[in-house]
Structure 1
Amino acid sequence: MRSDPASSDAPARGRYRFREYRVTTAPDSLALPVFAAVCITGEEHDCGATSGTFHEPDELTRWIAGHCAATGHELYEQTTHTVLCAEPRAWQ
């Protein structure tokens, strides 16, 4: 005689299938990426100096080099923002 799974302490077994939604993304050719950095050098607290935003990574590198030369600070957190276009596909 089989036991009733609802009344037993054993976990129920079953197959679960999850649908997956597929999306393709690509950078928007009309939008420029944005680069920025924050100086995180410091023992008690971070320096906190911010670069502002740049559209070229070389401009950000120049800002970091200048801040490093003026202060000797060596640690920076960089953020990059890019506008993406999503092309949805069918559920699978």
Structure 2
Amino acid sequence: MGKTTRYRFREYHVTAVADPMALPIFEAVCVTGEERNCAAASGELHAPEELTRWIAGHCAQTGHQSYEQTTRTIVRAEPGAWQ
């Protein structure tokens, strides 16, 4: 018979903290459409107000009301203690 090996795993706690040197990125894509999405995109913006302004402008020009919004932030992992 073979030897049984048991592994014991501990949990490692990590806290993700926003990197203060990196600007967040906000983007939106227009997903209005029945047969296919409009797909107009805002591009990368660095303030939520800029994104809101882009969405409002696209909506005013086209009447489109559905958007997929993405927010990206660079975070740093700050390791905690083993549990």
Residue equivalent to 1:48: 39
Per-residue deviation, 1:21: 1.4
Structure 1 stretches of 4+ moved >4 Å: none
**How many residues align structurally?**
76
Q: Which amino acid aligns with 2:75?
A: L
Pick from 23, 26, 43: which aligns with 2:14? 23
Residue equivalent to 2:4: none
Residue equivalent to 1:5: none
1:58 maps to 2:49: yes
The answer for unaligned runs of 5 or more in structure 2 is 1-7
- TM-score (norm: length of structure 1): 0.78
Per-residue deviation, 1:19: 2.1
Pick from 66, 78, 82: which aligns with 1:87? 78
Based on CA coordinates, which of the two structures has the bigger radius of gyration? 1
Q: Point out which structure has higher relative CO (alpha carbons under 8 A, 6+ apart).
A: 2
After superposition, the CA RMSD in angstroms is: 1.1
Quote the sequence identity (%): 67
The answer for unaligned runs of 5 or more in structure 1 is 1-16
